[in-house]
């Protein structure tokens, strides 16, 4: 999809994408998985409340990175496309055993952009990147 020509459709897709990511993370992240990050907030938030905030923050992190990836691929042409129809088709052609592992493609796209001088500083790895693998593979399908 050409983002520039289909802005409202892209936004609808992003909202659906966000909802799917959040739903997937809610069911795949346990409070024990994130206990080490909660130390600083003990007494302020319950485990469940902290998990809710953590899932929302991780969801936003993934969505914003995805938007930047798409913009850098489609509009700025900083890197070769990975999540356009052409990019997904190429991924399916070159990968046999990883076809449905779109989180791997997301990681490759993130790393590709991290190595550019234009956006590299934005894509420095952080704790929220550790939870990409917790997503169901279907969330990245265009």
Provide the mean pLDDT of the chain: 78
Mean pLDDT, rounded, for 126-137? 76
Percent with pLDDT over 70 in the chain: 71
The domain spans of the chain are: 7-140
pLDDT at 87: 67
pLDDT at 142: 47
Q: pLDDT tens digits, residue range 51-71?
A: 999 999 999 998 888 888 877
- At residue 74 the predicted structure's pLDDT band, cuts being 50, 70 and 90, is low
HEC string for the chain: CCCCCCHHHHHHHHHHHHHHHHHHHHHHCCHHHHHHHHHHHCCCCCHHHHHHHHHHHHHHHHHHHHHHHHHHHHCCCCCCCCCCHHHHHHHHHHCCCCCCCHHHHHHHHHHHHHCCCCCHHHHCCCHHHHHHHHCCHHHHCC
């Amino acid at each position: 999809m050409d983002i520039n020509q289909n802005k409202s459709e892209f936004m609808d897709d992003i909202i659906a994408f966000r909802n799917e990511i959040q739903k997937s993370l809610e069911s795949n992240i346990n409070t024990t998985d994130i206990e080490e990050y909660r130390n600083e907030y003990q007494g302020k938030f319950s485990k469940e409340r902290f998990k809710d905030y953590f899932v929302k923050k991780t969801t936003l992190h993934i969505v914003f990175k995805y938007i930047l990836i798409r913009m850098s691929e489609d509009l700025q042409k900083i890197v070769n496309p990975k999540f356009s129809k052409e990019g997904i088709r190429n991924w399916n052609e070159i990968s046999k055993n990883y076809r449905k592992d779109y989180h791997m493609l997301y990681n490759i796209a993130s790393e590709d952009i991290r190595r550019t001088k234009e956006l590299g500083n934005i894509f420095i790895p952080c704790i929220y990147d550790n939870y990409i693998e917790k997503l169901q593979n279907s969330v990245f399908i265009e």
